[in-house]
A = this chain, B = another copy of it.
Amino acid sequence: MVRIGIIGGSGYVGSELLRLLLLHPQAEVTMVTSRQSVGEYVFNVHPNLRSITQLKFVPQDMAEMQKNCDLIFTATPHGGSVNLVPKLLAAGLKVIDMSADYRLKNLDDYEMYYGWKHAHPEMLKDAIYGLPELHREEIKTAKIVACPGCMATSAILGLAPIVKAGLVDKDKIVVDLKVGSSGGGAKPTLGSHHPERFSGVRPYMVVGHRHIAEVEQELNALGNEPVKISFSPHAVNMVRGILATIHTFPKQKIENKDIWRALRGMYGNEPFVRLVKYQKGPYQLPDPKVTQGTNFCDVGFEIDEHANRLLLFSALDNMTKGAAGQAVQCMNIQLGIDETTGLKSTGFHPM
């Protein structure tokens, strides 16, 4: 039984970690911290947890964590983990970091995409990008697991086999994302105000999005030449879910079997990647609706002969495979237990 602490438990990522870990057969959540809700019952902030747990939010206290925990999930805002993670490691704790602070290998990227200089560049080599489909072996022994961003996960899982196989023009890769409102976090803003967000489609951060850095980092490690990602999210009228529609242009004529081969080659044994390309019904291609509440990433494709285009589709639940579920998957890998432990949700039809 691994004893778990969650730092930053009052946000949505913290909420999803609690949902998964409170029922995890090999884990026990012993501490949950929050800055604004110290002393409150966790279920007062996350009403789904009523009758599930009597935990209260506690302040962040290193000695207590050292005493009560083996592993810490840091669900801190970006920039909030940089200094925290080294202290946790020094205290002998394992760390799975949900922020972006240890995802990037190139120091300049922090300045360019996040606007600050990394205070612990020496630690970056100890951090493994927590995408099991690409880094399973390294995760097993990682000191720091740096969990991927939700949109980055969908983009990378859609593109990795194709980029690895060198099938497409690396300068014209369009990732057009449709994203649910939970991705924006628990803090109310004008853009997330129900009357403003409901029933619209809003392009946002369509240029220069921070996730470009990690997407390019991971894809560049797979292929022979660096990619340029065109990355643009849109806020749509749902709470959970991301669909990445990826438009690419093959270097030469391709056929369905080429793509099947690339996808199956990488994902054939993956427990949480499903290949979705059907001929009947409304769900022939990936739709995040089908993945809600699960750790699955559904990947599909179509070839457009008219425009010489290869479309890839990648759908997931941004809270689960896009964040907390993937983090628990990494924890399972580290514990050496079945990777699907605590993550065996089937999803819902309908929801």
Known contacts A194-B192, A280-B44, A281-B47; A350/B182 CB under 8 A: yes
Write the chain B residue with the least CB distance to A230: B307
- Interface residues of A toward B: which range? 35 or more
Q: Is the CB of A228 within 8 A of B308?
A: yes
Contact residues in B for A203 (Cβ distance below 8 Å):
243, 245, 285-287, 311, 313
Q: How far is the CA of A307 from the CA of B213 in the complex (A)?
A: 12
Contact residues in B for A293 (Cβ distance below 8 Å):
293, 348, 351
A237 within 8 A of B: yes
Q: Is the CB of B274 within 8 A of A51?
A: yes
Q: Is the CB of A19 within 8 A of B194?
A: no
Known contacts A49-B349, A238-B201, A288-B201; A192/B190 CB under 8 A: no
Q: How far is the CA of A14 from the CA of B287 in the complex (A)?
A: 22
Q: How far is the CA of A44 from the CA of B174 in the complex (A)?
A: 30
A94 within 8 A of B: no
Contact residues in B for A284 (Cβ distance below 8 Å):
204
A206 within 8 A of B: yes
Contact with B along A179-210 (1 / 0, CB 8 A): 01110101111111111111111111011100
Looking at A97-105, A126-134, A296-304, A329-337, the stretch in contact with chain B turns out to be: A296-304
A9-49 residues with Cβ-Cβ distance < 8 A to B are 12, 15-16, 18-19, 22-23, 44-49
Q: Is the CB of B302 within 8 A of A207?
A: yes
Q: List 12 A-B contacts (CB under 8 A).
A: A12-B195, A12-B350, A19-B348, A19-B349, A44-B281, A47-B287, A48-B294, A195-B239, A199-B239, A203-B285, A204-B282, A234-B245
